[in-house]
Structure 1
Amino acid sequence: MITTDWFLLGAPWDCSGSGRGEQAAPAVLRAAGLSAMVSRDRGDAACTIDSVERDERTGVLALPETVRAAHALAEYLERALEDLPGLRPLVIGGDCSILLGIVTALRRSVGPVGLWFLDGHPDYSDGPASDTGETADMELAVLTGIGADSLVALAGRAPMVPASAVVMLGHRTSGLDAGSARELARVPAELRRIDAATIAVDPAAAGRRAAAWPAGPDRKMWLHLDLDVLDGDVFPAVTYPQPGGLHWDQLAAVMEPLARSPRLLGVSVADFRPDLDPTGVYAARVLVLLERVLP
């Protein structure tokens, strides 16, 4: 059991519209025992996406459906926060663009928030530059005010999260292809970063350092985990695995100071592909991580 301080909310969201696997993650993790680890299970938001049409003007895949899904997830999370005061949300995706709905809800329910963003990629592309147009390539850019107008404005006034209120952790900075290098170069200088190689040297110290950012003790923070922050050999059940990532103990050590911060609002977990986990071994390992890390 994690603690009774959490409620579970599923976000079966696959921004590719292809049903390739991420959208099954909430159900599979429940079947593996996740519901029993929290106080309440609020079920799934109606945020599935099945369009594979790419918007001609913005280059974003499934743009109208993504806007709809973001609002649906935001409204579902807002109701849960209102109904369950004192409990913190554990939102299980789906892919990383569930953050578009999560942060919209937080802005309306809480006010200004910051983001601890654990991900193997910067997710700072845009529609025209992305090979796929998937919002999981670009959600951090959108959250910080760069992207299609209908996405940037989801919570009203942009940016949803100032770049100075984001800490990006676990991204790769060596051996990048040209497209990945260009994406990393787009990240604003004021957005704080601790890359995978730095974390690997002393994960606990990296976590404590990130927990002290952004400045301002009153800014509440959301912790987001994309499981591709793990090395592809350690956790291959993701859409875009990479080498040079973290191992399980390193990931736990960097997360623990963040998960125990008094500023923590909640946690989201994304990019688990049950279709790439036929024996269930990786689903079980995700639950072990959450049980270890979440207070």
Structure 2
Amino acid sequence: MTTKEKRISIIGVPMNLGADRLGVDLGPVAIRYAGVKSRLERIGYDFEDRGDIEVVRPEVATDGHSNLKYLDEIVRVNTALCDGVADIVNSGRFPLVLGGDHSIAIGTIAGAMQSKENLGVIWFDAHGDLNTAETSPSGNIHGMPLAVALGLGHERLTAIGGVGKKLNPKNVVLIGSRDLDPGERQLLKDLGATVFTMHEVDLMGMPKVMEEAIRIASDGADGVHISFDMDAMDPFFATGTGTRVAGGLSYRESHLALELIAQAGIATSAEFVEVNPLIDNKNETAETAVALMDSLLGGWLK
């Protein structure tokens, strides 16, 4: 399905376990408070809110068998999210997931892939999110979802949605990267994924970057998932996010990127993550996230 069909369902995932940082679990309620329902209904969407997936914070971070924090609960939540996203797609609606930290992309992508033979991904993020238990110094799973979606990492994470349901790196595009470690850079080269760092955004301009990103992500794909981490933006435009890195996308660059995706009509699922109202200014980052959703879903055309 594409966004043109005008039926959308949201699921909130109030989880901070992947980041192990308070506040990002309040992202879904902050986005709802910022008016996502009225904004999308105003541009003509049949809007359905499927509520939040329950998240329980365990007393102990690790179980002694892995350095991955809150692995059991993150697996449970992402499995439930996978099922929820798959059900939305099967009902002929567009799934829009509200984070929560970026570890929820494991479930979103797994759910989207249940009905896709080859899903492309455009990943807006300051970071690569390509760590595994072996490479992560923190054990925070929000730094691992893209690796998991590519079939790399802990077997309990890669099993979510089925071990055969993984991304083809040739259809994976990262945009806005500016905090990649050497191992992530080498892995991206080895896999053949495409990265447009902020250097390329500055050098090429956002229209050319998106022309290439849309072409690569959709080439031979039967759908494209959009994953937007608010830290892709420069902290000046997105204060309320937990892992800020200077020198990111501007407000208009972000909107233009999503407008061009809308114009191409390729998006079949999306998520917006890492909104943290505890460190925000008057819910401005959640309001920005809602405005970006509007652009991705074609509001600028109305």
Q: Tell me the TM-score normalised to structure 1 length.
A: 0.88
Contact 1:46 1:73 in 2 (8 A): yes
1:19: Cα distance to partner? Answer: 6.0
Secondary structure, counterpart of 2:161 in structure 1? coil
Q: Which runs of 5+ in 2 are unaligned?
A: 41-45
Aligned counterpart, 2:43: none
Instruction: Check if 1:68 corresponds to 2:76.
Output: yes
Q: Give the one of 189, 212, 227 matched to 1:224.
A: 227
Instruction: Assess if the C-alpha contact under 8 Å between 2:120 and 2:218 holds in 1.
Output: no
Of 245, 262, 276, which aligns to 1:242?
Answer: 245
Cα pair distance change 1:194/1:111, threshold 3 Å? same
Cα 1:161–1:234 shift into 2, 3 Å: same
* Residue 28 (structure 2) aligns with: 26
Please name the residue that 1:165 is paired with: 171
Q: Secondary structure at the match of 1:92?
A: strand
Identify which of 37, 41, 47 aligns with 2:48. 41
Instruction: Give the residue type in structure 2 aligned to 1:280.
Output: N
- Runs of 5+ unmatched residues, structure 1: none
**Superposition pairs for residues 255-274 of structure 1, below 5 Å?**
255-274=258-277
- Asked whether the equivalents of residues 217 and 263 of structure 1 are also in contact (C-alpha less than 8 Å), the reply is no
Paired residues for 1:107-122 under 5 Å: 107-122=113-128
> 3-state SS of the aligned residue for 1:29?
helix
Q: CA offset at residue 211 of structure 1? A: 0.3
SS at match of 1:213: helix
Name the SS for the 1:8 alignment partner. Answer: strand
Q: Distance in 2 between matches of 1:145 and 1:139?
A: 10
Describe the superposition over 1:171-203 as per-residue Cα deviations: whole angstroms up to 9, x where unpaired.
Answer: 016xx7xxx333333334311111122113411
- Give the equivalent residue in structure 1 for 2:182: 181
Shift in CA distance, 226/260, structure 1 to aligned 2, threshold 3 Å: same
CA distance in 2 between partners of 1:64 and 1:152 (Å): 13
Counterpart in 2 of 1:106?
112
CA displacement at 1:63 relative to structure 2? 1.1
Pick the aligned partner of 1:200 from 188, 199, 202: 202
Give the Å deviation of 1:91: 1.2
User: 2:228–2:272: 8 Å Cα contact kept in structure 1?
Assistant: yes
Q: Aligned partner of 1:46: which letter?
A: I
Equivalent residues in 2 for 1:117-132 (5 A)?
117-132=123-138
Q: Share of identical aligned residues, percent? A: 21
Question: 1:106-148, CA deviations, whole angstroms, 9 ceiling, x for partnerless residues?
Answer: 2223333121111110011112332321111111111111100
1:152-182 Cα deviation digits (max 9, x unpaired): 1212224611222211111016xx7xxx333
2:262 maps to amino acid: A
CA contact (8 A) 1:14 1:49 kept: no
Q: What residue identity is the alignment partner of 1:43?
A: R
8 Å contact from structure 1 (residues 248, 289) kept in 2: no
What is the alpha-carbon distance in structure 2 between the residues aligned to residue 116 and residue 270 of structure 1? 14
C-alpha distance in 1 between matches for 2:110 and 2:88: 14
Distance 1:17 1:198, change over 3 A: closer
CA deviation map 1:211-251 (0-9, x unaligned)? 00146344311011001001123322111100121111111
- Structure 1 pair 123–71 and aligned structure 2 pair: CA distance change class (3 A): same
Task: Assess if the C-alpha contact under 8 Å between 2:61 and 2:70 holds in 1.
Answer: yes
Matched, 1:135 2:141: yes
Inter-partner Cα distance in structure 1 for 2:122 and 2:262: 10
SS in 2 for 1:35: helix
Contact kept, 8 Å, 1:58 with 1:148, in 2: the verdict is no
Query: Do structure 1's residue 279 and structure 2's residue 286 form an aligned pair?
Result: no
Contact 1:9 1:41 in 2 (8 A): no
Which protein is richer in helix relative to its size? 2
Show the counterpart of 1:79: 87
Secondary structure of 2:28's aligned partner: helix
How many equivalent pairs are there? Answer: 287
SS of structure 2 residue aligned to 1:130 = coil
Structure 2 vs 1, CA of residues 55 and 169 (structure 1 numbering), >3 Å: closer, same or farther? farther
Aligned 8 A contact 1:49 1:62 in 2: no
Residues 1:58 and 1:18: Cα distance change in structure 2 (over 3 Å): closer
